Amino acid sequence: MTTASLALQDSWTEASRHLRIVPRNIELLLFSTIQPIMFVVLFVYVFGGSIRVAGYDDYDQFLLPGIFSQSLVFNSSFTGVGLAEDLQKGLVDRLRSLPMARSAVLIGRTVSDLVRNIFTFFVMLGIAFLIGFRFEGSLLGAAMATVLLLLFSYSLSWVAALIGLSVKSVEAANSAGFIWMFPLTFVSSAYVDPGTMPNWLEPIADINPFTKVTNAARALYNGFDTGNDVWWTLGWSFGLIALFATLATRKFDRSTSA
């Protein structure tokens, strides 16, 4: 087998290890799913009757793609928390001593978290359909929107991986993993049109990569023209993966539990 094939095999072995833990720690999956459901329900029923957005007869059709994006991004922080826990327990040192590809540890962790994110997304989508959300565009467009959301969340898992390997404790990883996510998600088009923001804040929201992925998903779900948002999303996603996968792998090579 080639080196690349062995690395992929090692990565899947590591991902499977994390996924096998899920049935034995069902509380983690349960609570990580409840939070996105709460966002869907609370935002729809609290803000749904008070906000109007030009071009949308129903605010839910505007809001829910933003909630999908936000929830998947928040869930990507679990990658950092998990790696910080492995580092604290000394598991990183043990994995480094095994005859396996170094990158497999990080790829396996991010892939397993992606699988959990997929499960969470479809639970959210089911709840959204129950409260009135619909695919106004084509099924192909909806599938493309879903792939873009998951791809972007996967790219941020690599950001979280670097954070998890850089801090000294699980608690710090949990805090550091969320601090930057709040401005990323709230200074965006997730909940309101950036045109309603102050003049100095609007351009920041417009160039925010979270705005790009939200706008692309929203347009695809609703059957609107996506403009360049799909290409911006792909560029940001693959760019973040390339940059932070490299940085996280280098950090992993230097990390110990000491």
The per-residue DSSP string of 195-215 comes to: GGS-TTTHHHHHH-HHHHHHH
More confident residue, 94 or 129: 129
By residue range, what is the domain housing residue 184?
3-254
pTM, rounded to two decimals: 0.88
| Longest CA–CA separation in the chain, Å | 60
Please report the pLDDT score of residue 90 as a whole number. 75
Position 93 pLDDT exceeds 90: no
Rounded distance between C-alpha atoms, residue 73 and residue 67, angstroms: 10
Rounded distance between C-alpha atoms, residue 140 and residue 142, angstroms: 5
Mean pLDDT over 183-209 rounds to 92
Q: Which of 2-11, 119-128, 207-216 has the lowest mean pLDDT?
A: 2-11
Query: pLDDT class for 91, splitting at 50, 70, 90?
Result: confident
Position 258 pLDDT exceeds 50: no
Please report the pLDDT score of residue 216 as a whole number. 97
Please report the pLDDT score of residue 35 as a whole number. 77
Q: In angstroms, how far is CA 123 from the centroid of its own chain?
A: 15
Share the mean pLDDT of the chain. Answer: 84
Mean pLDDT over 104-108 rounds to 85
CB 71 within 8 A of CB 33: no
CB 164 within 8 A of CB 82: yes
Q: How many domains does the chain have?
A: 1
Question: Helices 102-130 and 59-75: crossing angle, nearest 10°?
Answer: 150
Query: pLDDT class for 99, splitting at 50, 70, 90?
Result: low
CB-neighbour burial class of residue 46 (10 A; exposed 0-12, middle 13-18, buried 19+): exposed
55 Rama class: left (phi>0) / alpha (psi -120 to 50) / beta: left
Closest CA to 192 of 121, 201, 75: 201
Q: Which of 93-97, 144-148, 176-180, 243-247 has the lowest mean pLDDT?
A: 93-97
Contacts of residue 215, defined as CB under 8 A and 6 or more positions apart, other chains included, come to 189, 226, 227, 229
Query: pLDDT class for 145, splitting at 50, 70, 90?
Result: very high
Q: Which of 35-44, 77-86, 137-146, 151-160 has the lowest mean pLDDT?
A: 35-44
